[in-house]
Amino acid sequence: MKRHLYNADHDEFRSIVREFVDREVVENIERWEDERLIDRDVWLAAGKQGLLGLGAPVEYGGAGQFRDYRFRNVVLEELARVHATSLSSSFSLQDDIAIPYIASIGSDEQKQRWLPPMIAGETIGAIAMTEPGTGSDLRGIRTSGTRVDGGWVVNGAKTFITNGIHADLVIAVVRTDPDGGSRGFSLMVIERGMTGFSRGRKLKKVGLHGQDTAELVFEDVFVPDENVLGDIGGGFGQLVHHLPLERLSIAAHAVAAASSVLTSTVQYTDSRTAFGQPVADFQNTRFQLADVVTEIDVTRAFVDAAILAWNADELTVVDAAKAKMWASEMQNRVVDRCLQLHGGYGYMIEYPVGRAYQDARIQRIFGGTNEIMRQIIGQDLFGRR
């Protein structure tokens, strides 16, 4: 079935992205995974090539394509093509979370201060929601902000923070009113070098080894009023408003990654022989891969529709939850079946499917666990918020 998602502009952009990936990414993937950290140089190279800030306003150096996620999807597909999952995750945090928050709710002064260097890859962003003991329960956040003259004093700790080691600015969710309920949270931008802001451990993860994930600690950090993002007390609503884009990003990555694993598995089974014939010639192999390619194609159709809905400003919270939940579950099923078709070699990290197996597992957790996605979908069925 022919795919009708892209036009000539996206095809031209793909050639630019592919050239960048082949030049700047491919030869570094193994080293990044071994060192468990991605060089900042690739961020600068991506910024110079125009691959960051695709949705940011043109007046700040962005591409102004906030309502055309197809350009971001091209980047996801091209990074997935070479199995650069850690880099893809890091770029997604910047382009699908950090930059959109600042671009949509930041003041003109904040946009001018932060967006140009983020788009250039000079400034790396992060968002700090999760805390030890809270997980998906954002209402359990305990990081506190106390009002003082000219700003706020922030105390607390965050964990599982993507880009946590490299981050130059962190959009932190802070409880500013202990009795405010859902109106008791605010977003504050905490910058590298602020007194009392420190990094804890660089966390060792099951997968995404090249992408830095860290604990962050705030000890009497003074955050000036000009670093408050949006309205005081509006943090929870701002988080909910931005989650559909984050979940669309996860879903789109899931489809791209599963497709790439399928491609490498088809190549492997066609070249690998067992009992005197290619593994691809066994009926079980063909049946398994027939199921896999059908699952990917059907999921891609839904995610493509979600991308177009986002472009039309019509993607609902529920449909974003469906896309994230289903696509990430599909990705994990596909990778598991493809690994099995590799036999023992599939368990070796030098084979793409082995690393894909590790990297895929987090997709069912971050952006809201799939249990939370099912809760959102289930509540909608009964007309409850």
Catalytic residue from among 33, 131, 246, 295? 246
Taking only Cα atoms into account, the Rg of the chain, rounded to an integer number of angstroms, comes to 21
Contact assessment for residue 251 and residue 244, using Cβ atoms and an 8 Å cutoff:
no
109 is a catalytic site residue:
no
Furthest-apart CA pair in the chain: how many Å? 79
Using an 8 Å Cβ cutoff, are 331 and 360 in contact?
yes
What six digits make up the tokens of 1?
A: 């079935």
Residues 6+ apart with CB under 8 A from 213: 160, 161, 162, 164, 202, 203, 205
What's the residue count for the chain?
385
Q: 165 and 223 in contact (C-beta within 8 Å)?
A: no
Contact 220, 293 (CB under 8 A): no
191's enclosing H/E stretch is: strand 185-191
Residue 129 contacts residue 99 (beta carbons within 8 Å): no
State how beta strands 213-224 and 197-202 pair: antiparallel
* Cα dihedral 46, 91, 27, 212 in deg (nearest 10): 130
* 164 and 199 Cβ atoms separated by less than 8 Å: yes
Paired tokens of 314: 């019509």
Closest alpha carbon to 218 in 149, 143, 160: 143
CB 180 within 8 A of CB 231: no
Counting Cβ atoms within 10 Å, is residue 357 exposed (0-12), middle (13-18) or buried (19+)?
buried
In whole angstroms, give the CA distance from residue 239 to residue 137: 13
Cβ–Cβ under 8 Å, residues 227 and 101: no
Q: Alpha-carbon distance 71 to 56, whole Å?
A: 12
Positions marked active-site:
246
